[in-house]
Amino acid sequence: MTTPQDIIRPDILAMTSYPVPDSTGLIKLDAMENPYTLPADLAERLGAHLAGVALNRYPAPRPADLIAKLKRTMHVPDACDVLLGNGSDELISLMSIACAKPGAKVVAPVPGFVMYQMSAAFAGLEFVGVPLNADFTLNADALVAAIEEHAPALIYLAYPNNPTGTLYDDADIERVIAAAGRSLVVIDEAYQPFAEKTWMPRAAEFDNVVVMRTVSKLGLAGIRLGYMAGRPAWINQFDKVRPPYNINVLTQATADFLLDHLDVLDAQAAALREERTQLAREVAALPGMTVYPSAGNFLLVRVPDAALAFETLLTSRVLIKNVGKMHPLLSNCVRLTVGTADENAQMIAALKKLSTFD
């Protein structure tokens, strides 16, 4: 009898799948989602809009009108083209596949977004992680040295970084771009609505840079839409490995409708930025907790015991992310998504219980 062990690559057999915990009945503050729903009147109008979608037809492979609207509303430079993906995850996968020459490598700061390394492994690329400084700032010297040593195909720079929330210094990023003479630098702006800084206006300035974003953190995680902007020479090549109908008709229709109502989503992002400031202040006031600066919709917090913190909050029906074992630099760290004022208050109340274990 044939078994998976007979056919599947040994490295895949040794992997574990991406963990997504069951959040039923919990206050879900582990995945950096926007906690706000659409206003009722806007949701009703969206429903009517979606009712007219032809579900019996394949989606447009490259929906020109949607791409044009996305470029206009997100201020993509005219000299750039745009590629759509089923979330940023698919775009990372497409780039990995397209760049998977024998011996090709990927370089990224660590700790960072796990899909950079996972997608590299899936495509047979070697991943080289360059540790951040102890304060989670970019170690530009080490990163440049790794680029010079490994000549990677892809370099990922998350701006801001997940799970640390760090917004790397622009001068350091420029230095990395200059050193990457034989590499493509991917600036991942998944959390741009909360950073209020962007490299998008400069996406066409360099011949080895693309800027990647998602609408997930803006409040549309459920529709799975990512996009990448860069010079057409890059976009045209990555488009060749894109599945022909990767963006479904409901996602296209939803994005087309809501791009006309960005003011609603922008207002939600502004509210979350205010909540982030308040949450950081309250968590920092708790005994034994160190809150790191964050430009995302989450906080990285070092606690006396990350496992105990996770379990204590879970018993209070609050789900957070224990990142303490992701990388040595993250020892005893947890990641707290910024929620609504009420959700944050319940999370603070649960965190206060930790002082009873001292």
Which pLDDT value is given to residue 357?
58
Class of domain 55-261: alpha beta
- Dihedrals φ, ψ of 41, to 5°? -65, -40
Angle formed at CA 167 by CA 164 and CA 169, multiple of 5 degrees: 135
Spell out the per-residue pLDDT of the chain, length 358, in tens: 999 999 999 999 998 888 888 889 999 999 999 999 999 999 999 999 999 999 999 999 999 999 999 999 999 999 999 999 999 999 999 999 999 999 999 999 999 999 999 999 999 999 999 999 999 999 999 999 999 999 999 999 999 999 999 999 999 999 999 999 999 999 999 999 999 899 999 999 999 999 999 999 989 999 999 999 999 999 999 999 999 999 999 999 999 999 999 999 999 999 999 999 999 999 999 999 999 999 999 999 999 999 999 999 999 999 999 999 999 999 999 999 999 999 999 999 999 998 765 5
Instruction: Quote the DSSP letter at residue 144.
Output: H
Find, among 308, 318, 310, the residue nearest to 340 by Cα: 318
Q: Is 32 left (phi over 0), alpha (psi -120 to 50) or beta?
A: left
Residue ranges covered by each domain of the chain: 4-39+263-357, 55-261
With beta carbons less than 8 A apart as the criterion, state whether 106 and 152 touch: yes
CATH 3.10.310.40 is right for the domain spanning 4-39+263-357? no
What are the residues facing 209 on neighbouring strands?
A: 185
- Dihedrals φ, ψ of 350, to 5°? -70, -40
Residue in this structure with the two tokens 């700032």, named with its chain if needed: 137
Please give the full DSSP string across 202-257, using - where no structure is assigned. Answer: GTTT-TTEEEEEESIIIIIGGG--EEEEE-HHHHHHHHTTS-TT-S-HHHHHHHHH
> Cα(153)–Cα(95) distance, rounded to whole angstroms?
10
Angle formed at CA 225 by CA 222 and CA 230, multiple of 5 degrees: 160
Which pLDDT value is given to residue 18?
83
Question: N- to C-terminal Cα distance for the chain?
Answer: 56
Which pLDDT value is given to residue 21?
87
> Cα(175)–Cα(194) distance, rounded to whole angstroms?
24
Q: Which long-range contacts (CB under 8 A, 24 or more apart) does 194-198 make?
A: 194/160, 194/269, 194/272, 194/273, 194/276, 194/295, 194/296, 194/297, 195/159, 195/160, 195/167, 195/295, 195/296, 196/273, 196/295, 197/159, 197/167, 197/295, 198/159
Beta-carbon contacts of residue 175 (< 8 Å; ≥ 6 apart): 140, 144
With beta carbons less than 8 A apart as the criterion, state whether 158 and 113 touch: yes
Sign of CA dihedral 18, 242, 77, 49: negative
Strand (E) or helix (H) holding 62 = none
Which pLDDT value is given to residue 196?
87
Distances (CA, A) of 112 to 50, 164, 166, 242, 312: 36, 8, 10, 25, 26
Which pLDDT value is given to residue 358?
55
